[in-house]
């Protein structure tokens, strides 16, 4: 039964990797800057979920803290980029 | 798999099902980000991953670590609360910036035509 869990974790990692590839294509092809920022936000969330899947595979709670940090950094950097698009400067 | 051999089978089945479902929902959301035509349509698609995908995968992680440690492990709730709180803020600020940029671009376009 444990091999089933291992295969399902591998399948989930492949699916999340494809989702990350979609976000990277949107970052590269985005017609305007806000499309790239949405792609970056999606990429950060997908990396967070992929780290949670790695945590289930490894059985340690260290990956959970990495996932939380990636989520925090993705939120802060996305808001900073949106603020930059709105005003032309981040801190006013 | 180093320690996963000890987990009971019901928790294993639940973990596998929730994990694959969450990853599939996240992939559908990211594919929608790739496929939609307009920016204002595109901004809706990844919220499928940030709400349902995150909830499913963190629930899978909670079930697995609770079964592994034989005690309730609930610190993944932090991720759910955090992502659910920050996603509307992010998208609201971003769509406001996009509308501002569209208005500025259309004004400039009119001025260029005249």
Q: Does B19 touch chain A (CB under 8 A)?
A: yes
Q: Does B101 touch chain A (CB under 8 A)?
A: yes
Yes or no, beta carbons of B60 and A33 under 8 Å apart: no
Nearest chain A Cα to B22, which residue?
A12
pLDDT recorded at residue B61: 92
Tell whether the model's pLDDT for residue B95 goes beyond 70: yes
ipTM score of complex: 0.88
Please state which CATH number belongs to domain A2-87.
Answer: 1.10.287
Size of interface A-B (CB pairs under 8 A): 174
Domain extents in chain B: 8-113
B24: closest CA of chain A, how far (Å): 6
Interatomic CA distance for residues A17 and A64, integer angstroms: 18
Which pLDDT tens digit goes with each residue over A31-84? 888 899 999 999 999 999 999 999 998 888 899 999 999 999 999 999 999 989
pLDDT recorded at residue B1: 47
pLDDT recorded at residue A3: 84
CB atoms within 10 A of CB A28: 9
Alpha-carbon separation of residue A56 from A12, B14, B113 (angstroms): 11, 13, 58
Tell whether the model's pLDDT for residue B105 goes beyond 90: no
CB atoms within 10 A of CB B1: 13
Alpha helices in B6-76 (DSSP H): 9-35, 39-42, 47-48, 54-69
Domain extents in chain A: 2-87
């Amino acid at each position: 039964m444990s091999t089933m869990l291992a295969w399902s974790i591998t399948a989930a990692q492949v699916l999340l990797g494809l989702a990350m590839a979609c976000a990277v294509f949107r970052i590269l092809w985005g017609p305007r800057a806000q499309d790239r920022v949405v792609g970056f936000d999606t990429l950060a969330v997908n990396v967070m979920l992929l780290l949670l899947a790695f945590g289930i595979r490894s059985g340690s709670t260290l990956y959970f803290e990495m996932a939380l940090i990636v989520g925090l950094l993705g939120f802060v950097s996305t808001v900073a980029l949106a603020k930059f698009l709105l005003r032309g400067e981040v801190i006013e | 798999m180093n320690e996963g051999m000890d987990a009971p089978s019901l928790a294993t089945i639940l973990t596998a099902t929730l994990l694959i479902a969450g990853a599939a929902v996240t992939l559908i959301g990211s594919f929608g980000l790739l496929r939609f035509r307009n920016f204002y349509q595109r901004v809706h698609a990844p919220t499928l991953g940030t709400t349902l995908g995150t909830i499913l995968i963190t629930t899978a992680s909670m079930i697995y670590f609770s079964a592994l440690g034989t005690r309730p492990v609930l610190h993944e709730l932090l991720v759910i609360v955090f992502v659910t709180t920050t996603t509307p803020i992010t998208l609201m600020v971003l769509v406001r910036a996009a509308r501002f940029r569209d208005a500025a671009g259309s004004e400039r376009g009119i001025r260029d035509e005249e």
